[in-house]
Amino acid sequence: MLHDLPLSGVVVVELSDSAAAPFAGRVLAALGAEVWKIERPSGDSARGWGPSKWKGSGAAYHALNRGKNTISIDIKDRDQLVILHQLIARHADVFIHNLRPGSCGQYGLDGDSLRVTKPELVYCEVGAFGHVGPLNTLPGYDPLMQAFSGIMSITGEEGQAPARAGVSIVDFGTGMWAVIGILAALYRRRVKHCGASVNCSLLETAIAWMTVGIANYNVDGEPGGRHGSGVAFIAPHRAYATSDGYLIVSAANDPLFARLCAALDHPEWSADDRFATNSGRLKNRSELDRLIGERLNDEPRAVWQERLQAAGIPVAPIQTTAEIVTHQQSHALGIIETPPDDEVGMVGLPLSFDGKRPPPLHAARDIGTDNDALEHLLNLRRVTS
């Protein structure tokens, strides 16, 4: 670990499972923090996720838990719970968890209890429906929150079944909000010499992703609909079929639309009263999409991509995972990394400092790998795994 990373010297204890809180811990580790991940003896649920497995655990576990010291503690065992409390009290700057709602108090792992003995602790709870309200004790997962928040009501094609985003945007977004809250609390601690309790949740993250949709609804009372690859408030701004694949085309203002029309050999479209402004294009979206779609279907994707890019039109092909992994831009960025002690490429931190990305983290470890290291740290005789 490089000593000049932003969080070098910060110790994080992460009692977590699944995705949101582990993603937060992985980000903190990539920023230089020393992260101690606590797993129950049977291991994090993500170890069993499939179908892709690596060294006996799900690929998702490896993606979310690199760069961490991994110890096994059964918090239901009184002696082992004491060890966790000692680790937090003696060494932790940050404690992050996603325990079942309402259960942390019975283990003395709630913010009020921990910050009595360690007021400078930054305590972060990653919840499901939030820390207050009638649903605050319910468990929750990413697709539940995409449904509950309204995200799924505006995702997919009109007239089709509701669709979930293909990646766990709520889980990863919640992990990001946890990191933002922790960093803010660490900054305040440095200035005011006090800790903080940070709360974030899957539902609050999902509602935050509905920021524009909720604003639109509060203005005009319209709940919004599904626009497939497009959006409700800009046209054209969606995927069109070329002769051999799909291309996202975005003309988000009137000058861009005029350039698009010229590049498509139909400059007259931009002068048509139906299409001259974005409001007109939205009212006549179906006809506009038909015209653009018919024209783009005349040539292959690569031809249109080159031609539209030359005209300054924002475009992007809809690529597969294989295509983005092997694309020269991904390689130039160096964002897909291979840890020095592993052979599988994983996505690195999407940040650079002074032009350099934080170095690859070591591979995720087996359950309880660092129990001996914890024994040494706390001068214990034994940590039962």
- Res 385: pLDDT: 45
| Span 112-140, average pLDDT | 94
Q: How far apart are alpha carbons 185 and 120 in whole angstroms?
A: 10
pLDDT value for 153: 93
In 98-179, the DSSP E strands lie at 122-127
Contact 376, 385 (CB under 8 A): no
Exposed/middle/buried for residue 50 (C-beta within 10 Å: 0-12, 13-18, 19+): exposed
The pTM assigned to this predicted structure is 0.90
pLDDT of 24 > 70? The answer is: yes
What ranges do the domains of the chain cover? 11-209+333-378, 237-317
Tokens of 306: 């080159």
pLDDT: which is higher, 51 or 304: 304
Amino acid residing at 74: D
pLDDT digit string, tens, across residues 250-298:
999 999 999 999 999 999 999 999 999 999 999 999 999 999 999 999 9
pLDDT of residue 375: 86
pLDDT digits (tens, 9 = 90+) for 30-73: 999 999 999 999 999 999 998 888 888 999 999 999 999 999 99
Catalytic positions: 171
Which of 87-91, 127-131, 373-377 is least confident?
A: 373-377
Tokens 């919004």 correspond to 224
pLDDT at position 275 is 97
How far is residue 263's CA from residue 73's CA, in Å, rounded to a whole number?
63
Pick the CATH number of 237-317 from 3.30.1540.10, 3.40.50.300, 3.30.70.20, 3.40.250.10: 3.30.1540.10
H-helix or E-strand spanning residue 61: helix 59-64
pLDDT for res 226: 87
Please, are residues 92 and 11 in contact by the beta-carbon 8 Å criterion? yes
> What are the angstrom distances between the C-alpha of 130 and each of 30, 138, 206, 234?
27, 9, 11, 33
Q: Read off the pLDDT band of 223 (50, 70, 90).
A: confident
Give the H/E segment covering residue 79.
helix 78-91
Report the alpha-carbon distance of residue 57 to residue 5 in Å, rounded: 29
Name 291's Cβ contacts closer than 8 Å, sequence gap at least 6. 266, 269
Q: How many CB atoms lie within 10 A of CB 79?
A: 11
Q: What's the average model confidence in pLDDT over 71-87? A: 95
Cα dihedral 85/23/1/69 (nearest 10): 40
The answer to whether the bond into 143 is cis (omega within 30° of 0) is no
Report residue 368 as tokens.
């309880």
Within 10 angstroms of residue 116's Cβ, the number of other Cβ atoms is: 10
What's the CA gap between 29 and 11, in Å, rounded? 9
Q: Say what the pLDDT of residue 364 is.
A: 92
pLDDT value at residue 56:
87
Cα separation, 161 vs 219, whole angstroms: 27
Listed residue (324, 306, 371) closest to 73, CA to CA: 371
Q: Which pLDDT score is estimated for 381?
A: 47
| Architecture of the domain made up of 11-209+333-378 | 3-Layer(aba) Sandwich (3.40)
Average pLDDT over residues 161-166: 92
Placement of tokens 């922790």 in the chain: 182
Could you tell me how far CA 322 lies from the centroid of its own chain?
20
Q: Are 11-209+333-378 and 237-317 in the same CATH fold? A: no
